[in-house]
Each structure stands twice: as C-alpha cells, then as structure tokens.
Amino acid sequence: MSKHDKRKRKKFSVGRISVYLFLFIASIVSMFPFYWMFVMATRPSAAYNSIPPTLTPGKLMIENFKKVLSQIDFFGGMWNSFVLCSVVTIVVLFISSLAGFAFAKFKFPGKNIFFVAILLTMIIPPQLGLIPQFFLISKAGLLDTLQGVMILFFLNPLGIFLMRQYISEGVPDELIEAAKLDGCSNFRIYWGIVLPIILPAFATLGIIVFTAVWGEFLWQFTILRDPEMYTIQVALAQLSNTHNIDFGMILSGVFWATVPLLVIFLLFNRLFISSITEGSVK
C-alpha cells in the first residue's frame, strides 16, 4: 500500500510536470511559426499587424496562392527543384556506393591516401571556389541550366564515407569470394550482391542528399538567373524582393512549397531522424 502511494506521488511530482511543461513549450515554439504561416497564407496582407494578432485561418487561401502564381512560376520552380534533387540523389548514390564498395572490399595501392583525400575535401568551405566555379559553368554554357547546378552537388564525400561504412559492415567478404569463384565480374558483384544489401542505407543517404539539395540556396542563386530556370528556393526568394510586399502572398508561397516536404517527413519521420544521426554520428 505505502509502496503504491509512493509510486503514485512520484508520477505527479513537480519535477516530472516541469519536464513535460518544458517540452510542451519547446514543441509549441517549434510548431507555432508553421501554424502562423498557414494562418497568414489564408489572410489578407494587412493581417500580419492586426491587434490583437490574427491567430485563426481566414478565407483567402486560394486568392493568395493565385497571387503567388502571378508573381513567380511556382510549379515550374517545384518541378525544377524536384528534377534537380532527384538526379543529384541518384547520381550521388551511384558514385558513393561504387566508391564505397572499392574502399571497403578491394585492395589497391594508395587506397588509404585516396580515402583521406576524400575526407579532406569536406573541410573546404563551399564559398572558396564559388567565383571560378561560376565562370567555369558560364564558359561551359551551363548558366541557367539545371546541369550547371547539379554537377557541383555530385561531389559528396560524406556519401562515400557512409557507403564505405555500410558495405564493410553489411556485406560479408565470403559472399564476394563465393561470387568471384562463380566467375562474377566485379561490377556484377556490385550490381547483384552489394546493391540489394545496402538498399536501406540508400534510403538514409538519399534523404540526406535530397533534403540538402532541396534547401541549398547560394549556389542555385548564383547559377540560375533566368526566371524560367529558377528552382523553388530561388523563386521564393524573389517574393520578398520587391518594395511593395504582400505578406499573405509570400507566406502562401512558402506554405505550399513547404507542405510537400513536411508531409513526406511526417510519413517517414523515423527514417528522417535516423538519417540525421547516422549521417553525422557514424
């Protein structure tokens, strides 16, 4: 009886309630800007400074979005971003897994030096080569093209590092030896044995790459100047680039550009969160 009482008292202790309270406030702080963005996206521009603040959705959801469409090529931007991110993700997965396979399972002179060299490229700040990169893309006639943007993103040292980890831990040497005895070429081993085993790791790396490229701004902003080629980030940035600012319209654009990613995240949140920890902790 007394034991039971003790447990009951502990369940409602001040400490526990304050932990819940603290986390609850943190959740509200995290979520509020999303909610407020939604509210503003359904209200006239002037709603942002009304007193008391407007905290309930209005009726202008469609009108505001129509204004976005008249201001920027929203769907074109979304499509460009989608194509950019998809191609980059596929190419990075291919390059990284192939290189990761080589580093994990083959012996060749200079292997460690090459691997360290790849890791060292991670510490180069991306701005260091920005200007020559711009002229290189320009000389190649790739300004205002998605190809010009994507080539830089193909470089993903973290991907090679992660894939090497997965392949050396996840693919048994015996399996490769056996395939070799059967006369499989190395590429067939990669395609038929290694790839199926590391598919889950592809999900992790794929999420890291896709979201990183989706949100990147400086490089896309530098290479894409023609409104028709804008990705969604560059297009969104144009919304605030006028002096006559319509806040309902701006947040409507941001809202519809953000929602797809958030929905995907809510569906696969475990995968997303583990991709972050594996991407940075391993």
Site residues for another protein, window 101-140 (CB under 8 A)? 101-103, 106-109, 111, 114, 118, 121, 124-136
**Does residue 211 bind another protein (CB under 8 A)?**
yes
Among 90, 147, 169, 187, binds another protein (CB under 8 A): 187
User: Taking a C-beta distance cutoff of 8 angstroms, is the pair 248, 61 a contact?
Assistant: no
**Does residue 178 bind another protein (CB under 8 A)?**
no
Helix (H, G, I), strand (E, B) or coil at 146: helix
Binding segment toward another protein, per CB under 8 A, in 58-66, 69-77, 180-188, 195-203: 180-188
C-alpha distances in Å from residue 168, one per residue of 86, 148, 192, 241: 27, 34, 16, 49
Among 68, 151, 158, 229, binds another protein (CB under 8 A): 151
- Burial string for 140-150 (b: 16+ CB within 10 Å, else e) reads eebbbbbebbb
Residues whose CB is less than 8 angstroms from the CB of residue 251 and which lie 6 or more positions away in sequence, other chains included: 37, 40, 41, 64
Cβ closer to another protein: 82 or 265? 265
Binding positions for another protein, 70-89, rule CB under 8 A: none
Q: How many alpha carbons fall within 13 Å on the CB side of residue 248?
A: 20
Binding mask 13-52 for another protein (x = CB under 8 A): ---x--xx-xx--xx-xxx-xx-xx--x-------xxxxx
User: Taking a C-beta distance cutoff of 8 angstroms, is the pair 141, 151 a contact?
Assistant: no
Q: How far is the CB of 131 from another protein (least distance, A)?
A: 5
Binding mask 233-272 for another protein (x = CB under 8 A): x--xx-xxxxx-x-x--xx-xx--xx--xx--xx--x--x
Cβ closer to another protein: 121 or 228? 121
Q: How far is the CB of 125 from another protein (least distance, A)?
A: 6
In whole angstroms, give the CA distance from residue 42 to residue 56: 9
C-alpha distances in Å from residue 95, one per residue of 98, 144, 157, 160: 5, 25, 10, 8
